[in-house]
Amino acid sequence: MNLKKTFLLAGLMLAALLLVSVFVFTSPECEDCESKLPEFLRDGCTVIIVGKDASVDGSVMTTHTADCGFCDWTWRYVPAADHEPGTMRKIFHVDQMETFAPDEGLKWDLVKNRDAVLEIPEVSHTYGYIHGAFGYMNDFQLAIAESTIGCREKMENPTPAAKFDITMLTLLAVERCKTAREAIQLMGTLSERHGYGFTDTGEMLAVADPKEVWIFEIMPVGPLWTPKSGKPGAIWCAQRVPDDHVSVCPNESRIGEINLKNIDYFMASSNVISYAIDHGYYDPESGEPFNWKKAYSPSEYSATSSNGSRGRLWVFFHRMAPSRNFSPDTPNMELPFSVKPEKKLSVQDVMDLTRDKFEGTQFDVARGIQGGPFKNPNHLPYGFELEGKKYNTSRIISVNRAEYVTITQCRDWLPDHIGGITWLAFGAQDTSCYMPFYAGVTKIPRSFEVGDHWVFDRKSARWAFDYVDFHTQVVYSQAIKDVRKAQEKWERGAVAKTVTIDKIALELHKKDPAAAREFLTDYCMNNANSVINAWWELGDHLLVKFNKLWNYDAETRKRNRMKYPDWWLKELIEYNKLEPEPEKEKK
């Protein structure tokens, strides 16, 4: 093909693919509002990071909210495997947003039926792991969480020359690596050698093991890259979070100034600075130190200037270190990489953080009319346009379009199969329930592997939680009380039970590691199935209790009026110009 045709084809592919690949998890419902701008990426995922000395028990923790609203939510367990010499590992392009109708088949089966875009030598042994949209935790407590951060438009590479996307990189990492540092080096090397991008742009991964946790950020290097160029097919940088610190990634690049001489805290690709110089993103003659995020994914917004749509970074630091008085007016690019929390965090604290809706701040999404009479924080999750003007609304941590949420715990005082836990909650955080899955499990419920947004299915675990969520939205301030009672029983109950389960599993492990894994699998499976059944029952309960916007008391068999708040009734009277009934004349 001649050079002119080659460039024409590349241009057409770029134009078409950019529409769907600028950012992962970008909702079509917001095409005409501010999420078109990189500065207002609203539909990506929030990652919370806790160093081992910042946690109550010494756990290294990460979270991932798969915020999408229309993506595949299914999960898989992949067992460890041995491979014959000469075996090749097939690499596929895996679009994070891609879904398939149930009659077509399951995503993770159909992906493997595609033609591979690349084959690389397989290793002799791959580790067992569980995964959803990404690889989350393997047999050695290597844990990963993801957040899309974007990059400069000219850096994007949606061409087939880029063989690796972020999903495939995470799967290779959990298959082949034991530590966070190994995983970062592997993903960096593969992406440099074979190219990174296609469906993905700038991405951040929190990569953890029982000892430490890193923020790893990776970007494409433009649509003209080919392996024959001899140049790296990706640019990446990683910074370690101090052990006594916490951090967060709310779809924003988090790495600032870097010091590659400090190898205990920084890693990067060979082109980490030279690429910025070559493309005019950094001038070494300026006298300014090189700043990763300002070079490759700049943004000038603050929580205040974005009216809360860029408020997650500020609110996290505000919660973690209130005495430092972080201002919502501070540009996000100027907020710190991490902070030492004023109170160490338990796994329950982290669960609560994933449910944060900016309560008690000026960006509270349930305030005033926006929340309605029942203080529903899930109204207007996107900005809107009215009479030719655009308005932002707060983009909270606990957004209502999550496919699922994970919290990983890596604990170095226990054997890996017992020390690692992935807590999984399907659907929206506020109405869901975290269920533990130890690193040693050998299977997950079948109900985790199936389901689709467009087909109601009682065989799918996710639908049990959506069922509760749907019935909660109608009279939120009332129904959420019942949901929290269920969470208290099942979620906090599982958290409290962890010490006992650990102890039993450890005693079994000393005698027979296989017996310990069987015990952990049985416990996690039974707990998950019990929670799913409880949520189906909770959904039924909410439907009956708040049917037709009344309150049906099953115990007394009486129907009571739903109480509307006075402030809302006053607004109703004023807006609808209602007149009071005439007073009766006294006789």
Q: What local confidence, expressed as pLDDT, does residue 300 receive?
A: 87
Confidence at residue 44, expressed as pLDDT on a 0 to 100 scale: 80
Residue 201 CA to residue 149 CA, distance in Å, equals 8
Query: pLDDT value at position 24?
Result: 35
Smallest CA-to-CA distance from 568 within 371, 394, 381 is with 371
In angstroms, rounded to a whole number, what is the distance separating the alpha carbons of residues 585 and 587? Answer: 6
Q: How far apart are CA 509 and CA 302, in angstroms?
A: 50
If we measure between CA atoms, which residue out of 208, 198, 305, 215 comes closest to residue 252?
215
pLDDT of residue 219: 98
Q: What are phi and psi for residue 421, nearest 5 degrees?
A: -135, 130
What pLDDT is stored for residue 382 in this prediction?
Answer: 86
Taking only the tens place, the pLDDT of each residue in 403-454 is 999 999 999 999 999 999 999 999 999 999 999 999 999 999 999 999 999 9
The span from the CA of 504 to the CA of 492, in Å, is 19
Which sign does the torsion angle of CA 363, 364, 368, 370 carry?
A: positive
The angle formed by the CA atoms of residues 355, 332 and 197, to the nearest 5 degrees, is: 85
**HEC sequence for 118-129:** EEEECCCEECCE
Q: The tokens of 338 are what?
A: 């991490």
Residue with tokens 């074979």: 194
- pLDDT tens per residue, range 221-278: 999 999 999 999 999 999 999 999 999 999 999 999 999 999 999 999 999 999 999 9
Q: Which residues are CB-contacts of 463 (< 8 A; sequence separation ≥ 6)? A: 451, 456, 457
Q: State the sign of the Cα–Cα–Cα–Cα dihedral 503, 509, 511, 516.
A: positive
Compute the residue count for the chain. 587
**Both structure tokens of 434:** 């975290």
Q: Which residues of the chain have pLDDT under 70?
A: 1-43, 587
Write out the E strands in 485-575.
551-553, 558-560
Half-sphere exposure of 562 (CA within 13 A, CB side): 18
* The pLDDT value given to residue 43: 61
Beta bridge partners of 556: none
H helices then E strands: how many in the chain? Answer: 14, 22
Residue 536 burial (10 A CB sphere; 0-12, 13-18, 19+): middle
The partner residues of 206 in beta bridges, in order of sequence, read 145, 215
Give residue 396's region: left, alpha or beta (phi > 0; psi -120 to 50). beta
Taking the C-alpha atoms of residue 560 and residue 370, their distance in angstroms, rounded to an integer, is 26
